[in-house]
């Protein structure tokens, strides 16, 4: 059995490890946008497919039994391309998406989409910590607020309107508390990425009683089969046919 795994996340690496260990052939596809990416076990290809048509052509030229989309919850374009390629080729598709974060009783969260999130900030604070990655930073360039942005890789061109730090998670609660205090942050902006690797910033914001703007996830295309965990994805692959 052979699976094309659209990866780049911790769940994708774990899924590749389990499937390869079970004797399943796995081709992990990485976008290649992140330098020094953590590579999964098994075969790896890097770079895009050339849109939905390119992915469909690739599937015709490289027959696999299934495609698993385990990309980031905000990788909406890749998921749309995978859904279109499934309709074109008939290759089964599963989407693995980790659960989003859940607001607690002591949290001061404000939900928004990327286009409107910046409008909320002036009423919430004056020193902003952006943890949304490098894509979408420009949406916050004109707030007039002092802004600290953390990314894995530097945007091109490098922004001059914010203070930029480059770092890769996971981050500890102690580190996040120290960062927020050092820069006197009074409002946090993050995506609803879910998972434990970057959740310490939410714990730190809660401890410091800071408001948090949460960017909502994009909707999945209709009709996709979806699971929330690696174990569920493994069972889907191993199900009797």
Q: What is the pLDDT of residues 66-92, one digit of tens each?
A: 999 999 999 999 999 999 999 999 999
Is the pLDDT confidence value at 129 over 80? Answer: yes
**Contact between residue 220 and residue 71 where contact means Cβ atoms under 8 Å apart:** no
Residues 184, 145: Cα–Cα separation, whole Å: 13
Tell whether omega for the bond before 240 is within 30 degrees of 0, i.e. cis. no
CATH fourth-level superfamily of 2-99+220-238? NAD(P)-binding Rossmann-like Domain (3.40.50.720)
Which stretch of 34-38, 84-88, 139-143, 167-171 has the lowest confidence by average pLDDT? Answer: 34-38
Tell whether omega for the bond before 123 is within 30 degrees of 0, i.e. cis. no
Q: How confident is the model at residue 36 (pLDDT cuts 50, 70, 90)?
A: low
The mean pLDDT value for 117-143 works out to 95
pLDDT of residue 169: 83
The mean pLDDT value for 119-123 works out to 96
pLDDT of residue 168: 87
Is the pLDDT confidence value at 32 over 80? Answer: no
Tell whether omega for the bond before 170 is within 30 degrees of 0, i.e. cis. yes
User: 32 versus 103: which is more confidently predicted?
Assistant: 103
Is the pLDDT confidence value at 37 over 90? Answer: no
7 exposure class (CB count in 10 Å sphere: 0-12, 13-18, 19+): buried
pLDDT tens string 92-108: 999 999 999 999 999 99
Q: How confident is the model at residue 135 (pLDDT cuts 50, 70, 90)?
A: confident
For the chain, give the mean pLDDT: 94
- The 3-state DSSP class for residue 13 equals helix
pLDDT of residue 33: 66
Domains 2-99+220-238 and 108-215 share a fold: yes
**Contact between residue 29 and residue 5 where contact means Cβ atoms under 8 Å apart:** yes
Taking the domain 108-215, which CATH number applies? Answer: 3.40.50.720
pLDDT of residue 198: 84
Domain boundaries, the chain: 2-99+220-238, 108-215
Task: Please count the helices (runs of H) and the strands (runs of E) in the chain.
Answer: 7, 12
Q: How confident is the model at residue 220 (pLDDT cuts 50, 70, 90)?
A: very high
């Amino acid at each position: 059995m052979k699976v094309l795994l659209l990866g780049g996340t911790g769940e994708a690496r774990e899924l590749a490890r389990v499937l390869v260990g079970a004797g399943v052939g796995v081709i992990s596809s990485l976008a290649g946008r992140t330098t020094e990416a953590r590579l999964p076990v098994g075969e790896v290809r890097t770079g895009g497919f050339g849109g939905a048509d390119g992915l469909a052509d690739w599937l015709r030229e490289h027959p696999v039994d299934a495609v698993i989309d385990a990309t980031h919850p905000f990788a909406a374009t890749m998921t749309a391309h995978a859904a279109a390629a499934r309709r074109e080729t008939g290759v089964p598709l599963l989407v693995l998406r980790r659960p989003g974060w859940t607001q607690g009783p002591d949290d001061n969260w404000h939900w928004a989409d990327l286009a409107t999130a910046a409008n909320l900030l002036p009423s919430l604070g004056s020193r902003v910590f952006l943890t949304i990655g490098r894509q979408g930073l420009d949406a916050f360039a004109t707030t007039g607020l002092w802004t600290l942005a953390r990314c894995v890789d530097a945007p091109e061109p490098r922004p001059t309107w914010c203070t930029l730090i480059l770092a890769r998670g996971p981050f500890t609660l102690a580190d996040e508390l120290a960062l927020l205090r050092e820069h006197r942050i009074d409002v946090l902006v993050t995506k609803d990425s879910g998972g434990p690797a970057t959740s310490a910033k939410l714990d730190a914001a809660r401890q410091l009683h800071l408001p948090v703007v949460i960017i909502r996830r994009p909707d999945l295309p209709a009709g996709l089969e979806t699971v929330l965990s690696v174990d569920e994805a493994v069972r889907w692959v191993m199900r009797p046919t």
